[in-house]
Amino acid sequence: MKLLLVEDNSELAHWTVNLLRLANFAVDCVPNGECADTMLTTQHYDVVVLDLRLPRMDGKEVLARLRRRGDMVPVIMLTAHGSTDDKVDCFNAGADDYVVKPFDVRELVARIKALIRRQSGGMSSCLICGDLQYISDTREFFHNDERLALRRREHTVLETLMLRQGKTVSKSVLMESVFSLDDEPSADAIDIYIHRLRKHLARSSAQIMTLRGLGYILRAKHFE
């Protein structure tokens, strides 16, 4: 899953990005409202974490423009005070949630997960494909009750396929979900991650199939 963090405090932004990536999120980070507005017109994100007070364009205006475009991506506002006025401002601007600085990244991650579940229409806490299980609350995969030890980008690819289980997912969608602005997007890298995942799933009844020219699909094997 891919997030946009909009935070002008470089030290806080660096710390937050690193911890979110450790939680298996792909993260883009920009330091001001104008950059955020541009990114939100050209990129897809699962959640936006947006500081209320930003240079060049404040968070409320970024959010207002986002909503005027009809984009209902979940937004968590970061506010420094947590006063009633700040909270009211956040919700009036169209925010889905808010977190008061300084915050514990575990709380932020929990709120991000809650928004993603809400956005997906109350997605089940456990998705199943054959004998492969995905626990949405922890974003972990299990096979025969054993947790799959996946690298961050492998995890993102499998998560993207699981959330679209039974549907074709193009390589461009996988690239967008895996790579952030700091990365050099690579179609060949996606092939490598798929190859590694197939090794992880070698003994599983869940399989990743290639549809040439279209992309990949995750589905359960059908045994005769």
Alpha helix ranges (H) inside the chain: 10-22, 33-42, 59-68, 84-92, 105-119, 152-163, 171-178, 187-200
Confidence of residue 91 (pLDDT cuts 50, 70, 90): confident
Which of 15, 8, 22 minimizes the C-alpha distance to 80? 8
Confidence of residue 30 (pLDDT cuts 50, 70, 90): very high
Strands 75-79, 126-129: pairing kind = unpaired
CATH code 1.10.10.10 region(s) in the chain? 126-220
pTM of the model: 0.77
Domain at 126-220: CATH architecture = Orthogonal Bundle (1.10)
Summarize the confidence of residues 14-22 as an average pLDDT.
91
Superfamily of 2-119 according to CATH: Response regulator (3.40.50.2300)
Task: Give the model's pLDDT for residue 37.
Answer: 95
Confidence of residue 121 (pLDDT cuts 50, 70, 90): low
pLDDT in tens, 127-149: 899 999 998 777 889 998 899 99
Task: Give the model's pLDDT for residue 224.
Answer: 47
Kindly tell me the sign of the dihedral angle through the C-alpha atoms of 147, 153, 159, 162: negative
- The single-letter code of the amino acid at 157 is V
Summarize the confidence of residues 69-77 as an average pLDDT.
92
Q: Copy the structure tokens of residue 92.
A: 């009036």
- Residues linked to residue 220 through DSSP beta bridges, in sequence order: 206
Task: Give the model's pLDDT for residue 223.
Answer: 55
CATH code 3.40.50.2300 region(s) in the chain? 2-119
Q: Is 193 helix (H, G, I), strand (E, B) or coil?
A: helix
Summarize the confidence of residues 26-40 as an average pLDDT.
94
Summarize the confidence of residues 198-209 as an average pLDDT.
94
Summarize the confidence of residues 176-203 as an average pLDDT.
90
Which of 14-18, 102-106, 212-216 has the weakest average pLDDT? 102-106
Question: Which helix (DSSP H) or strand (DSSP E) does residue 138 occupy?
Answer: none
Buried b or exposed e, range 84-112, using 16+ CB within 10 angstroms: eebbebbeebbbbbbbeeeeeeeebbebb
Task: Give the model's pLDDT for residue 63.
Answer: 93
Tell me the percentage of the chain whose pLDDT exceeds 90: 54
Tell me the percentage of the chain whose pLDDT exceeds 70: 96
Comparing 86 with 201, which gets the higher pLDDT?
201
